């Protein structure tokens, strides 16, 4: 009897060593994710295999995360320059900036499905390749249309024979303005379309990066180390937006064609002659002038090149990493060896076919059940609604903040980008870290976390509201009058719906310039000699001539009928003595720091309000909803 039991046990304890080598190799390959070595195709050299490590992947992934974050804020930092360069309105800027959200909203489920079937590191690489292409695409308008024809860039020294300024020309004159039509600029539709398509493509790559990337990291590390890796990536990602604002600040300090000031030798001069369409003499004004057009396109080429460089290694990473999955693969291999060899091939093929055919069907059925559970979760619904209102209230302000600084505090585009980054992203990193440490050591309950989140968000909103009252005096333009201030609300409503109106602001020519054919479509501010009076353009000042002295960056206009002796004005707005900008910066920095302390608690509320099995899907649903808004 004992002998029979022994024989029975022997038959059940199948020796894995008798499994044919081909079957064993195939089983290990399947269990290890089919690819466990660095390389692509047949190119898998031995010197590359030490890089088949999660640590190297996280380093490369984090660098791409920084560049990905920098791309968005770089676009925010230069958007006001694009508005001036291609003559489109702020609402078109918003239309361009939401393009990546549209692609993210529609493509996320498809990307998640592909990530369950194919090598995720290569899918990430394909996505980042699309992002790099979108960067280069964003710079195309510059190479299509060249450098802007800056107002005053063609003014000759001590000469009035050629100028692009809106000077005083008699209404019945036969002289044609060098600008088109009435001297204004029309929106460059093709440039807007290219920028929108580029942002849409960026959203495609962005979706693949974050939908697949973080789960890929989580699946290839020990579970106890998962919080460390994921929090490290999240912290490093915060450097990206700061880099984007700093890069936009640096690029916008240069003239739209920055190479012109550095190329002196003969060969370069020949090259400049060949591409003279894109090269123009820098204007007479500096980067603090409202008319300045910086090298907005340069950052796209820099970011696109860097993303392309760090995308190449992503193609070479394996589907899984040997060191992190060795023990699990050994256990699974022994378990597989105990099965009958005759059934291994058939079960493997059936399971693989069933997995491929039923994956999407299971996805839709699981999603339906999860939606029903979420609809009954009042805490999650309220949390999502709160996040939606937060996005609606803050994101628009965040996008137009650089432009607000330019217009309200008369900052240059580069300075506005720098201060936006300093007050937004740097303070967010400090606040997020402080909030995480506070929750880690105080260990509050879910109720206390919710109270904390609501409290700090309320205080942050009060600080932003207080910033509304830190205004600098609006510059007064001679000839720009408000007929009825009570009509301002109606004026704003009509402006929003693109209706023309005859009230509110009126560009009224004084008697001194009533005989001039002045245009109100192009902003060309000038200041009187006494530094007290602004004019919308030299024409509204009644100026007939423009001069630029040799070696001087100051462009002056003479024979101005609307100014006192001396009858001249200078380009740009009159100097502003308002000193409220530092107070505004300090207040906004404080607001962002306070608000960001709630980020960790906000995430914890989301994770604790759903079942553990629904965490990832809940985060995905929230991401889709937030993308809509």
CATH number, residue 199: 1.20.1250.20
Spatial strand order of the sheet with 545-548 comes to: 477-478, 534-535, 526-528, 568-571, 555-558, 545-548
Average pLDDT over every residue of 338-365: 48
Contact 244, 71 (CB under 8 A): yes
Task: Examine the domain organization and report whether 88 and 205 are in the same domain.
Answer: yes
Domain-embedded: residue 415: yes
Domain-embedded: residue 88: yes
pTM over 0.85: no
Q: What was the pLDDT predicted at 252?
A: 78
Q: Report the distance separating Cα 136 and Cα 580, nearest Å.
A: 39
C-alpha torsion angle, residues 219, 220, 222, 223 (rounded to 10): -10
Domain-embedded: residue 506: yes
Give the pLDDT band (50/70/90) at residue 290.
low
Cβ neighbourhood burial of 264 (10 Å; 0-12, 13-18, 19+): exposed
Q: What was the pLDDT predicted at 577?
A: 75
Domain-embedded: residue 362: no
Domain-embedded: residue 162: no
pLDDT at residue 605 tops 80:
no
Q: Which of 194, 235, 209, 185 is nearest to 85 (CA)?
A: 185
pLDDT digits (tens, 9 = 90+) for 479-532: 665 544 444 444 444 443 443 333 344 455 566 777 787 776 666 788 887 777
Average pLDDT over every residue of 31-43: 61
For residue 245, the Cα-to-chain-centroid distance in whole angstroms is 10
Contact 480, 507 (CB under 8 A): yes
Q: Report the distance separating Cα 619 and Cα 612, nearest Å.
A: 12
Contact 319, 34 (CB under 8 A): yes
pLDDT at residue 306 tops 90:
yes
Q: 342 preceded by cis ω (within 30°)?
A: no
Q: Which CA distances in Å does 149 have to 156, 200, 304?
A: 15, 29, 27
Higher pLDDT, 311 or 262: 311
Residue 505, beta-bridge partner list: 482
For 263, the token pair is 């190329």
Task: Examine the domain organization and report whether 491 and 406 are in the same domain.
Answer: no
Q: Report the distance separating Cα 75 and Cα 300, nearest Å.
A: 9
Q: Which CA distances in Å does 559 have to 69, 162, 565?
A: 51, 16, 10
Task: Examine the domain organization and report whether 512 and 531 are in the same domain.
Answer: yes
Q: Which of 526, 582, 545 is nearest to 289 (CA)?
A: 526
Q: Report the distance separating Cα 38 and Cα 57, nearest Å.
A: 11
- What spatial distance separates the first Cα and last Cα of the chain, rounded to whole Å? 74
Task: Examine the domain organization and report whether 499 and 604 are in the same domain.
Answer: no
Task: Examine the domain organization and report whether 385 and 488 are in the same domain.
Answer: no
Contact 128, 118 (CB under 8 A): no
Task: Examine the domain organization and report whether 89 and 110 are in the same domain.
Answer: yes
Q: Report the distance separating Cα 304 and Cα 315, nearest Å.
A: 17
Determine the 3-state secondary structure of 297 from DSSP. coil
Determine the 3-state secondary structure of 284 from DSSP. coil
Q: What was the pLDDT predicted at 551?
A: 57
Contact 337, 16 (CB under 8 A): yes
Task: Examine the domain organization and report whether 410 and 494 are in the same domain.
Answer: no
Task: Examine the domain organization and report whether 75 and 208 are in the same domain.
Answer: yes
Q: Report the distance separating Cα 615 and Cα 539, nearest Å.
A: 63
Q: What was the pLDDT predicted at 491?
A: 43
Rounded to 10 deg, the angle between the 239-251 and 226-237 helix axes is 20
User: Domain range holding 390?
Assistant: 378-473+579-628
Q: Residue 61 — φ and ψ, nearest 5°?
A: -65, -40
Domain-embedded: residue 353: no
Pairing type for strands 505-507 and 480-482 reads antiparallel
Task: Examine the domain organization and report whether 462 and 484 are in the same domain.
Answer: no
Domain-embedded: residue 75: yes
- Helix or strand run (H / E) with residue 329: helix 322-337
Domain boundary pick from 262, 292, 325: 325
Domain boundary pick from 263, 290, 325: 325
Domain-embedded: residue 442: yes
Contact 580, 536 (CB under 8 A): no
Task: Examine the domain organization and report whether 123 and 258 are in the same domain.
Answer: yes
pLDDT at residue 26 tops 90:
no
- Helix or strand run (H / E) with residue 18: none
Domain boundary pick from 292, 325, 358: 325
For 236, the token pair is 């490093």
| Domains held by the chain: number | 3
Task: Examine the domain organization and report whether 525 and 450 are in the same domain.
Answer: no
Task: Examine the domain organization and report whether 469 and 482 are in the same domain.
Answer: no
pLDDT digits (tens, 9 = 90+) for 536-595: 788 888 888 887 766 556 678 888 888 877 778 887 778 777 788 889 888 888 888 888
Q: Count how many Cα atoms sit within 13 Å of the Cα of residue 264 in the half-sphere of its side chain.
A: 2
Q: Which residues of 373-411 are buried (b: 16+ CB within 10 A; e: fewer)?
A: ebeebeebeebbebbeebbeebbeeebbbbbbbbebbbb
Average pLDDT over every residue of 332-341: 42
Q: What was the pLDDT predicted at 499?
A: 39
């Amino acid at each position: 009897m004992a002998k029979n039991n022994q024989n029975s046990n022997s038959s059940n304890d199948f020796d894995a060593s008798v499994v044919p080598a081909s079957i064993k190799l195939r089983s290990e390959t399947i269990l290890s994710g089919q690819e466990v070595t660095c390389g692509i195709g047949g190119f898998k050299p031995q010197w590359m295999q030490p890089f088949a490590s999660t640590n190297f992947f996280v380093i490369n992934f984090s660098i791409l995360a920084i560049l990905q974050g920098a791309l968005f804020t770089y676009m925010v930092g230069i958007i006001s320059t694009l508005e001036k360069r291609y003559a489109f309105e702020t609402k078109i800027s918003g239309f361009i900036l939401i393009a990546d959200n549209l692609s993210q909203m529609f493509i996320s489920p498809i990307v998640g499905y592909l990530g369950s079937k194919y090598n995720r590191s290569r899918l990430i690489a394909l996505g980042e390749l699309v992002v790099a292409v979108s960067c280069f695409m964003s710079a195309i308008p510059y190479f299509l249309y060249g450098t802007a024809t800056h107002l005053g860039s063609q003014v000759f020294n001590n000469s009035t024979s050629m100028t692009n300024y809106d000077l005083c020309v008699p209404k019945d004159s036969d002289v044609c303005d060098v600008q088109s039509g009435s001297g204004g600029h029309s929106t460059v539709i093709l440039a807007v379309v290219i920028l929108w398509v580029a942002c849409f493509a960026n959203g495609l790559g962005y979706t693949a990066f974050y939908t697949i990337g973080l789960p890929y990291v989580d699946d290839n590390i020990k579970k106890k180390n998962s919080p460390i890796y994921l929090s490290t990536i999240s912290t490093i990602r915060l450097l990206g937006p700061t880099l984007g604002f700093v890069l936009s600040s640096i690029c916008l300090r240069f003239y739209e064609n920055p190479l012109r000031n550095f190329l002196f030798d003969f060969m370069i001069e020949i090259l400049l002659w060949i591409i003279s369409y894109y090269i123009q003499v820098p204007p007479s004004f500096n980067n603090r002038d409202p008319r300045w057009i910086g090298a907005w396109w340069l950052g796209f080429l820099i970011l696109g090149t860097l993303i392309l460089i760090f995308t190449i290694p992503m193609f070479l990473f394996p589907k899984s990493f040997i060191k992190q999955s060795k023990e699990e693969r050994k256990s699974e291999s022994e378990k597989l060896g105990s099965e009958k060899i005759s059934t291994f091939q058939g079960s493997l093929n059936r399971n693989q076919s069933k997995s491929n055919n039923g994956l999407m069907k299971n996805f839709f059925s699981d999603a339906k059940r999860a939606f029903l559970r979420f609809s009954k979760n009042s805490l999650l619904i309220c949390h999502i609604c709160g996040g939606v209102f937060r996005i609606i209230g803050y994101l628009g302000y965040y996008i137009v903040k650089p432009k607000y600084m330019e217009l309200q505090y008369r900052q240059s585009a580069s300075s506005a980008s720098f201060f936006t980054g300093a007050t937004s992203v740097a303070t967010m990193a400090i606040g997020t870290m402080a909030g995480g440490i506070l929750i880690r050591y105080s260990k509050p309950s879910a109720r206390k976390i919710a109270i904390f989140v609501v409290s700090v968000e309320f205080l942050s909103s009060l600080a932003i509201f207080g910033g509304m009252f830190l205004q600098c005096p609006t510059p007064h333009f001679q000839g720009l009058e408000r007929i009825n201030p009570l009509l301002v609300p109606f004026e704003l409503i009509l402006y929003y719906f693109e209706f023309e109106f005859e009230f509110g602001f009126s560009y009224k020519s004084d008697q001194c310039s009533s005989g001039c054919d002045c245009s109100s479509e192009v902003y060309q501010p000038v200041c009187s000699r006494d530094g007290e009076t602004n004019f919308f353009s030299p024409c509204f000042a009644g100026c007939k001539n423009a001069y630029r002295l040799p070696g001087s960056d100051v462009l002056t206009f003479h024979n101005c009928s609307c100014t006192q002796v001396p009858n001249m004005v200078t380009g740009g707005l009159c100097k502003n003595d308002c000193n409220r900008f530092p107070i505004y910066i300090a207040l906004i920095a404080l607001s962002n720091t306070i608000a960001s302390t709630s980020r960790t608690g906000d995430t914890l509320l989301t994770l604790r309000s759903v079942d553990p099995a629904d965490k990832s899907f809940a985060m995905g649903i929230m991401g889709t909803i937030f993308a809509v808004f």
